Amino acid sequence: MWDFISKYGLIALLVAFPLTYAIIDVAGGEGLSRIGNNLVAGLSNGAIWALIALGYTLVYGIIELINFAHGEVFMIGSFTAFALYSVLGLTLVTGPLGLVLGLLVVLVLSMLVSGSLNVMIERVAYRPLRGAPKLAPLITAVGVSFILQNVGILWFGSSQKGIPDLIRAQQELFNIGGVEVSRADVLAVVVTIPLVYLLTAFVNRSRLGKAMRATAQDPEAARLMGINVDTTISVTFLLGGLLAGAAGLIYALYQTNVWYFQGFTAGLIAFTAAVMGGIGNLRGAVLGGLIIGIIQQISDNRIGNEWTPAVVFAYLVLIMVFRPQGLIGEETREAG
Amino acid sequence: MSKLAELRNARWAPWMPAIIAVVAVALFPLFRPPLDATMSDVIQALAYVVMALGLNIVVGFAGLLDLGYVAFYAFGALAAGWFASDHFSKVNGGEGVHIGVSDFVQTAFPQGIHVSFLLIVIGAILVTALAGAVIGLPTLRLRGDYIAIVTLAFGEIISRFAANGDSVIIKGYALSNGRESISPIDQLNLPLVGEFDSATNLRFYFWTALALVLVVLFVNFRVRDSRLGRAWIALREDEVAAASMGVPLVRTKLTAYAIGATFGGIAGAFLGVYNNSVNANQFQFGISIFLLSMVILGGLGSIWGVVIGATLLSFVNTFLIPDVLDKGSFNDLLSNVGLDFTFGEVKFGVFGFILVLMMVLRPQGLLPERRRTAELTQGVGGDEAIVETRA
User: Helix or strand or coil: residue B97?
Assistant: strand
Answer whether residue B374 shows pLDDT above 70: no
Residues 189-228 of A with CB under 8 A from B: 220
* A135 lies within 8 A of chain B by CB: yes
Residues of A in contact with B143 (CB under 8 A): 334
List the single residue in A134, A142, A154 with the smallest CB-CB distance to B355.
A142
CA dihedral (A96, A102, A106, A109) positive or negative: positive
ipTM above 0.90? no
In a domain, A329, yes or no: no
B135-158 mean pLDDT = 89
Residue extents of the structural domains in chain B: 38-388
B202-222 mean pLDDT = 94
Residue of A nearest to B135 (CA): A317
CA distance B20 to B207: 16
| pLDDT value of position A267 | 93
Check: CB of residue B321 under 8 Å from CB of residue B344.
yes
CA distance B158 to B176: 12
List the single residue in B149, B292, B349 with the smallest CB-CB distance to A320.
B149
List the single residue in B153, B359, B382 with the smallest CB-CB distance to A317.
B153
| pLDDT value of position B169 | 83
Which domain range does residue A122 map to? Answer: 2-322
* Tens of pLDDT, residues A4-40: 888 888 899 899 999 999 999 898 888 888 899 999 9
Residue of A nearest to B352 (CA): A143
List the single residue in B144, B146, B360 with the smallest CB-CB distance to A324.
B146
* B144 lies within 8 A of chain A by CB: yes
Report CB contact under 8 Å: B349, A151. Answer: yes
Of B46, B54, B87, B57, nearest to B70 by C-alpha is B54
Is the omega angle on the peptide bond into residue B322 within 30 degrees of 0, that is, cis?
no
List the single residue in A137, A144, A334 with the smallest CB-CB distance to B352.
A144
* B142 lies within 8 A of chain A by CB: yes
Of A215, A237, A217, A240, nearest to A227 by C-alpha is A215
Mutation for A interface: B70, B156, B372, B376, most A CBs within 10 A: B156
Q: Which stretches in chain A have pLDDT values below 70? A: 330-336
Residues of B in contact with A306 (CB under 8 A): 160, 163-164
| pLDDT value of position B391 | 30
List the single residue in B138, B152, B353 with the smallest CB-CB distance to A147.
B353
Residue B384's pLDDT band, with cuts at 50, 70 and 90, is very low
* A88 lies within 8 A of chain B by CB: no
CB pairs under 8 A between A and B: 138
Q: What is the CATH number of the domain that holds A241?
A: 1.10.3470
* A66 lies within 8 A of chain B by CB: yes
Residue of A nearest to B156 (CA): A310
Residue A312 to chain B, least CA–CA distance (Å): 9
Give the single-character DSSP code of B182. B
B178: number of Cβ within 10 Å: 19
- The residue length of chain A stands at 336
List the single residue in B148, B153, B286 with the smallest CB-CB distance to A138.
B148
Of A216, A323, A210, nearest to A277 by C-alpha is A323
Residue of A nearest to B150 (CA): A317
In a domain, A180, yes or no: yes
In a domain, A187, yes or no: yes
Which residues contact residue A116 at a Cβ distance below 8 angstroms, ignoring those fewer than 6 apart?
Answer: A238, A241
Report CB contact under 8 Å: A135, B153. Answer: no
Report CB contact under 8 Å: A143, B382. Answer: no
List the single residue in A144, A150, A313 with the smallest CB-CB distance to B348.
A150
B342-363 mean pLDDT = 89
* A31 lies within 8 A of chain B by CB: no
Residues of B in contact with A316 (CB under 8 A): 149-150, 153
Residues of A in contact with B344 (CB under 8 A): none
In whole numbers, what is the pLDDT of chain B averaged over residues?
Answer: 86
Q: Across chain A, where does the E strand assignment appear? A: 161-162, 172-176, 179-182, 257-258
At A20, which amino acid appears? T
Answer whether residue B87 shows pLDDT above 50: yes
- Strands A172-176 and B173-174 turn out to be unpaired
Residue A333 to chain B, least CA–CA distance (Å): 12
Report CB contact under 8 Å: A143, B359. Answer: yes
* A29 lies within 8 A of chain B by CB: no
Residues 89-108 of A with CB under 8 A from B: none
* Tens of pLDDT, residues B282-332: 898 999 999 999 999 999 999 999 999 999 999 999 988 888 888 777 778
Residue B109 to chain A, least CA–CA distance (Å): 33
More confident residue, B161 or B176: B161
* A230 lies within 8 A of chain B by CB: no
Of B66, B50, B22, nearest to B311 by C-alpha is B50
Give the single-character DSSP code of B190. E
Domain B38-388 class? Answer: mainly alpha
Percent of chain B with pLDDT over 90: 48
* A154 lies within 8 A of chain B by CB: yes
| pLDDT value of position B375 | 61
* Tens of pLDDT, residues B52-67: 999 999 999 999 999 9
Residues of B in contact with A317 (CB under 8 A): 138, 150, 153-154, 157
Overall domain count for chain A: 1
List the single residue in A132, A134, A313 with the smallest CB-CB distance to B145.
A134
Residues of A in contact with B67 (CB under 8 A): 142
Answer whether residue B385 shows pLDDT above 70: no
Q: For A257, phi and psi rounded to 5 degrees?
A: -155, 155
CA distance B333 to A130: 39
Percent of chain B with pLDDT over 70: 95
At B85, which amino acid appears? S
* Tens of pLDDT, residues B108-140: 888 888 888 999 999 999 999 999 999 999 888
List the single residue in A66, A137, A150 with the smallest CB-CB distance to B349.
A150
| pLDDT value of position B175 | 82
Report CB contact under 8 Å: A153, B346. Answer: yes
Of A183, A194, A179, A191, nearest to A40 by C-alpha is A179
Residues of A in contact with B359 (CB under 8 A): 125, 129, 132, 136-137, 139-140, 143
In a domain, A104, yes or no: yes
